[in-house]
Structures are given as structure tokens and as C-alpha cells.
């Protein structure tokens, strides 16, 4: 008998226990420093060398690059190891699901990865650690070593489109899953947020785990306001046992 497919949409809230601040919560980065949003907005970044220099300094201090998975990430990996078909669709760029032991092929990174860099001109890719080493060696705005073009983080900036292939896969999973858990996401950023509605439209049991209300709470079969570190492991253990 086929086991039900569990889809997990994870947002910034799942990683706050790993020391990575969220963006839109009460103490989120965008609320504390609206100017910081410019550092990850494509047009500002491409048009202003000073914005790029500040962006590279921000990346040097990026806690996501040194963060460790927490109990919620490990609970997801544990569910997958139990034999339950699991797919993670994540809005996060920290790579913590993979670090917790979830196979990379089962994680769809909607917003890319903070662990890589990409050239905006020739699209050559490299490691963020290598680029940061160049910044620490004195390069304010390290250019692409292949063509001299502008380098950026391999994340989707404001003003950029999501990878259509990754988004297409996420849509397919949302339509096919039996259970869809949205965890630690405000469900306000589209098209990612809309996946919860797609799953519900196709008959999935929708569970929302988030500290604050979301626009999809009224569509959910269950809304959980408990801390993610306790709520998600319990939920996933119940699914595994069921």
C-alpha cells in the first residue's frame, strides 16, 4: 500500500531556534531595519556599488552560514528515515534541512541558497565561503572570476523571479500530497504562500504551525500556535505512528 505523501512548507520560523532571525515577525529584520531590504533588492543591488559593499558585509555576518539544525529540522529528517514519503518545500536559504539529514533531492529551495554565489552576467556559480574569503582579504565587491560580472548570493532577491522548474515541482507536490504542513511561514509571500491553498484545493489535510495568524488559517484543518520546537516533532510523530 502506498504511504501518504507529506509535504512540508517551511518558513523562517523553523530556523529561529537555530539562531537565524526571521524577517516579518514582531522582531523581524525588515521591521527593525527597513533599509536592510534594499541590500537584497535586485535593482538596488545591481545599480549601486555601495549597496553591494554593504551586502557583502552583511553576508560576512550571516548567521545562516554557521547555523546548526534544531529539533524541528531533525524531526523532519527522522520522519523521512521512518519510510514516510516526505518532501520539503522551503522558503529558507540556510540549508538546515539537508544538514539535518534530509536528502537534498527531497528539498526544494524556492528562494535559493545562501551557501552559494552566482554571476549575474555569465551565471557561473561558486561557494559563498570562497567569496567571503575574498571580501575578508580586502575586496569590497568581489567580481566574477570568470567574466568580471557582478556576483550575488545564489538566493532569490526581491525583484527576481523564482526558478520556474523548482516552482513547478513545488506545485506538483502540493497537488499530490495527502498532508500539507505549513510551518514557521507567515504565508504572505507569493507564490510560495499560495501552495497551501493549492494543497487544500486538491484534498490535502492542511496544518498551519505558526506563532502569528496567517491568511490561510481559515482554510486549515488544524492551526497550531505552540512553539515549533515542541509542536512539529509531536505532529510528525503522530503522522509517523498513524
Instruction: Please report the domains of the chain, with CATH numbers, ordered by start residue.
Output: 1-20+70-111+162-242 (3.40.50.1220), 22-66+113-155 (3.30.1600.10)
**Location of C-alpha cell 554557521:** 66
The answer to whether the beta carbons of residues 72 and 233 sit under 8 Å apart is: yes
pLDDT of residue 66: 86
Residue 2 has pLDDT above 90, yes or no: no
Q: Over the stretch 111-128, which tens digit does the pLDDT of each residue have?
A: 999 999 999 999 999 999
pLDDT of residue 1: 39
Residue of 20, 21, 26 lying closest to 211 (CA atoms): 26
Enzyme catalytic residues: 111
Amino acid at each position: 500500500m502506498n504511504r501518504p505523501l507529506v509535504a512540508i512548507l517551511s518558513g523562517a520560523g523553523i530556523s529561529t531556534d537555530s539562531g537565524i532571525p526571521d524577517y516579518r515577525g514582531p522582531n523581524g529584520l525588515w521591521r527593525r531595519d527597513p533599509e536592510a531590504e534594499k541590500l537584497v533588492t535586485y535593482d538596488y543591488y545591481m545599480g549601486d556599488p555601495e549597496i553591494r559593499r554593504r551586502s557583502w558585509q552583511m553576508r560576512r555576518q550571516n548567521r545562516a552560514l554557521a547555523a546548526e539544525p534544531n529539533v524541528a529540522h531533525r524531526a523532519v529528517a527522522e520522519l523521512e528515515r521512518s519510510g514516510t514519503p516526505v518532501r520539503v518545500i522551503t522558503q529558507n536559504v540556510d540549508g538546515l534541512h539537508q544538514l539535518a539529514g534530509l536528502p537534498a533531492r527531497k528539498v526544494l529551495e524556492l528562494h535559493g541558497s545562501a551557501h552559494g554565489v552566482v554571476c549575474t552576467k555569465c551565471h557561473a556559480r561558486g561557494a559563498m565561503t570562497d567569496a567571503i574569503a575574498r571580501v575578508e582579504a580586502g575586496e569590497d565587491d568581489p567580481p566574477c572570476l570568470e567574466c568580471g560580472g557582478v556576483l550575488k548570493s545564489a538566493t532569490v532577491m526581491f525583484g527576481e523571479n523564482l526558478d520556474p522548474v523548482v516552482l513547478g515541482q513545488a506545485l506538483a507536490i502540493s497537488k499530490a500530497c495527502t498532508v500539507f504542513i505549513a510551518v514557521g511561514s507567515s504565508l504572505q509571500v507569493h507564490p510560495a504562500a499560495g501552495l497551501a491553498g493549492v494543497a487544500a484545493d486538491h484534498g490535502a489535510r492542511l496544518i498551519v504551525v505558526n506563532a502569528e495568524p496567517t491568511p490561510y488559517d481559515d482554510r486549515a484543518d488544524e492551526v497550531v500556535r505552540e512553539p515549533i520546537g515542541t509542536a512539529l516533532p509531536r505532529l510528525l510523530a503522530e503522522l509517523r505512528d498513524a
